[in-house]
Structure 1
Amino acid sequence: MKRMMIAAVLLAVTSCKEAPKETLPEPEEGKMEMETPKKEYPEALTQVFDAHGGLENWKKKRTLTFTIPKPDAAEIHSIDLYGRRDKIEMPTTGMGFDGDDIWVLDPDNSYEGNPAVYHNLMFYFYAMPFVLADDGINYEEADALEFEGKSYPGIHISYDAGIGASPKDDYYLYYDQETHQMAWLGYTFTFGSNEKSEDVSYIRYADWMKIGDLMLPKILTWYTSDGRTIKEAKDPLPFENVSLGEVAKPDDFYQMPENAKVVQ
């Protein structure tokens, strides 16, 4: 568990981009369905969405919460799925996005990660494959991923210029060709850089749980790799107390606390 905690801290600095936010207007309050324009997706990606409960079911959800256990405490993550406001609650620190600013509450200066990256990092990994339906995304077929004698077909995801904090990032969704469930995510990390990267990291999505009518991850496992060759598994990262609701949290839930600071 100590290794898992260290790995999570390192992820906060080195693992992923801030993915694009929804561009649709946010409903005023309460339980509402998101009205979205019709968008065409590759057939393979639609089959993946359907294998996880369907994109239309996902769009009906307003609030996602989950807990990441840690040796000395836990992180409670809450996300507004329409406006993509978010909040992470920890025993002595916290961070979030209030719709305008990323903020961090760290009175003891004990947090060693990068709040600009970490405040929504785990949400984007956890909400796969549905976050790959966001606006400004381009899709094309990717070479299959081979692992332990099994071939996983792939979809390459890239971003339009100006989408998200690092639009030069690439994602690779790999799925089981029999069940169409997501099996792997490959991704590059270009936060703070204007250059493309060929260094791909891999996460295995092998353990799913049903939350209402949707399938969401129970455990994520990062792997070491050499180029496009996957090697050894790292410590698994579990997710607990997962809930999906159709009702928004009060607006002040995501507001920056009085003693917090804006992250530049």
Structure 2
Amino acid sequence: MKQTFLLLTLAVFLFNCKEQTKKETEITTDYKKEELDVTTSIYPETLTKIFDAHGGIDLWNQMKSLEFTMPKPNGNEVTLTNLKTREALITHPDFVIGHDGTKTWYVNNKEGEYKGYDPKYYYNLMFYFYAMPFVFGDDGINISDAEPLTFEGKTYPGIKFTYENGVGETPEDQYIVYYNPETYVMEWLGYTVNFIPGIDTTEFHFRKYSKWQDVNGILLPAEMVRYKYKNNLPTEPMGTTQFIDVKLTKQAVPKATFKAPEIATIVE
């Protein structure tokens, strides 16, 4: 009798173990086979919503090269950038500016001394304006709330971005993205300027992102308006920049494209 009871107890124990193992197996998930959105979890909720309104940071991170053209009175200016390594090439009838990932260089296509943009700062300047808000997904950026911007009776909430020491050529720069409170699409940019001599480095300048275009699922600027400013507020428009022939791809541009030609001047 005692032996029968022991056998029965052992059978019940083994059955319970089997059921417990079955339950654990049923709720176990193989996350290697799951498509998880882990990238956006490292950003504040508001910034994530802004990214999402523009196509999503995860889709942006799949892209490896960006090219856009700005029509100008004296010729089209074409900017080409490798997104992951930030090599850059700007071509214009009057000049060429390049950055091979380490060195910045330029070629003067006009007679006489080069009097164009400072290549050290210009090679990624318009790219930075153009690739917003996604450039604020870079490392070394501090994020905080900003006072909203009210312009012509409409109020735009803001997020402020600053840089850790040693990040970029001018880590003192500050940026504020002002967004539509209903759609979370970026509408304004406030920014300080630290690379032009004689300018107030604490005064905020402003650009309005007036038109957007969908490029491979990412919302990128089609038109940007530069504004006059006073007391850290925009006042009136002073010029419009258009962006055409935009290419955003998942293929990087060969590094040789950004190599300085023999006639180039290397910027120290």
The two structures share one fold, judged by TM-score above 0.5: yes
State the partner residue of 2:65.
63
The reply on whether 1:97 has 2:89 as its aligned counterpart is no
CA contact (8 A) 2:69 2:243 kept: yes
Deviations 1:197-253, CA, capped at 9 Å, x for gaps: 320000001210101100000011111111123211012100110010111122211
Match for residue 52 of structure 2 among 38, 50, 53: 50
Q: For residues 148-187 of structure 1, what are the alpha-carbon distances to aligned partners after superposition, in whole Å with 9 as ceiling and x for unaligned?
A: 1111000011111111111111110100000000010000
Q: Counterpart in 2 of 1:136?
A: 140
Please list every run of 5 or more consecutive structure 2 residues that lacks an aligned counterpart in the other structure. Answer: 1-37
**Structure 2 residue 232 is the aligned partner of structure 1 residue 228:** yes
- TM-score if structure 1 supplies the norm length? 0.82
Match of 2:60, SS state, is helix
Q: Runs ≥4 in structure 1, deviation > 4 angstroms? A: 36-39
Q: Which runs of 5+ in 1 are unaligned?
A: 1-35
Q: Deviations over 1:98-157 (max 9, x none)?
A: 011000011533442211111111000000000011100011110100011111000011
Residue 87 of structure 1: aligned partner: 89
Q: Secondary structure of the residue that 1:236 maps to in structure 2? A: strand
Q: How has the CA–CA distance of structure 1 residues 187 and 208 changed in structure 2, closer, same or farther, with 3 Å as cutoff?
A: same
Shift of 1:254: 0.8
Kept after mapping to 2: 8 A contact 1:93/1:111: no
* Structure 2 length-normalised TM: 0.81
Residue type of the alignment partner of 1:73: G
Give the CA deviation at 1:256.
0.7
Write the distance in 2 (CA, Å) between the matches of 1:184 and 1:60: 26
Residues paired across the two proteins, number: 228
**What is aligned with 2:108?**
106
Highest RCO, 1 vs 2 (Cα 8 Å, sep ≥ 6): 1
Of Structure 1 and Structure 2, which has the larger fraction of its residues in helix? 2
The match for 2:76 is: 74
| CA-CA distance at 1:77 after TM superposition | 0.7
Structure 1 distance, partners of 2:234, 2:86, is 32
Distance 1:142 1:208, change over 3 A: same
Which one has the largest radius of gyration? 2
